[in-house]
Structure 1
Amino acid sequence: MNFSKAEFVRSAASARDFPRDGLPRVIFAGRSNVGKSSSINCLLQRKNFARVSAVPGKTVFVNLFLVDKALWLVDLPGYGYARVSQREKQRFSQLIEEYMNADRDNVGRAYLIVDARHDPTADDRLMADWFRAYGVPMAVIANKVDKLKKSQVEPNMERIRQVLELDESTPLFPFSAEKGNGREEVRRDILGLLNR
């Protein structure tokens, strides 16, 4: 599969906008300033493809990208940004829930993006619990690993695994959207889903 052959199809504001073609999906979720759009751009090797905003909290719809006409990449609204109104947070949650209820049978993997430098937040833990509750296979991308000293990487990965209560079968990828670390490993994971 050619990851760079990706096209933005639409921003879905409600369940009626979700695709109905039966193609496999991979979901990307993460809090507003964790580098979700940058991580997607890195995976697709497309600069500024998923819009990177200077203002956190700008992904307010479910953004749908079709990769090589074989796979949907689903970018969920960012969560946890304090300056978003309570009403808007509620709308984000409802939209994510609608997506999970409408489409989870086609979801091969949900990638939860966290900051490699810090413990996962309460919102990160809630998102991980949500994926588990919906029975969606999950992997974790620990972004910004390039900001760590080499000696910090392994202990931080172990801490992320503990805080999110990940079992050993849940993939955890040290990743850098800026430097490209971990890109090939995540791509191989996605290709493995397609070949099942």
Structure 2
Amino acid sequence: MFKSFHSLVAISMLTILFGCAGRDFVRPNQEAFKLGQTTYSQVLQQLGQPRQEGTLLKNDKNVKSIIYVYATTGGEPLEEGVIPARAMSYYFVNDTLVGQEFVSSFKADNSNFDDAKIGSIVKGKTKRADVAQLMGRPSGSYIFPMVKATAGEAVGYTYATTRGGAFSGFKMFRKSLLLSFNEKDEVSDIEYSSSGNK
């Protein structure tokens, strides 16, 4: 479901990795941008011009995407051999924020999560608070049309790594978990995917 979004991030990261550049940024506070309220211009006002812009079609709605990416060979990655990078993606409908996603392989602010714990999440039983306690702080949040109808915000966990170089070739890995909730704040849908090589 989120393959197209992650493809945009992957392309941006590869572009950056060839030059190991981009403008560094800090992950905004969780309360900095509100889904359904924050506007496109407010995000740009705080973060500046994005590295890349694009459009997506999600649930019959045109969605504008902007991506901020930073990578460097001089930073400290979470895993040895990984090129440390971070990306922040924002999604808008009619210039209103409908999704945001942070991905980092830097040790200091990595977005890694324990996918072995996904089996402990039970549809119709596990509550939103239980998810946060089990999985930690989500790296993404989404509302319609980024996800189908959900009570409150759907949350996501995404981690991606890139190894190698321009001459040896890049080896990429990505894993992603998306959780939606019902009106009782119980998990109503679980989507997990992983691709590439570690």
TM-score normalised by L of structure 2: 0.30
Larger radius of gyration: 2
Instruction: Point out which structure has higher relative CO (alpha carbons under 8 A, 6+ apart).
Output: 1
Higher-helix-fraction structure:
1
TM-score normalised by L of structure 1: 0.31
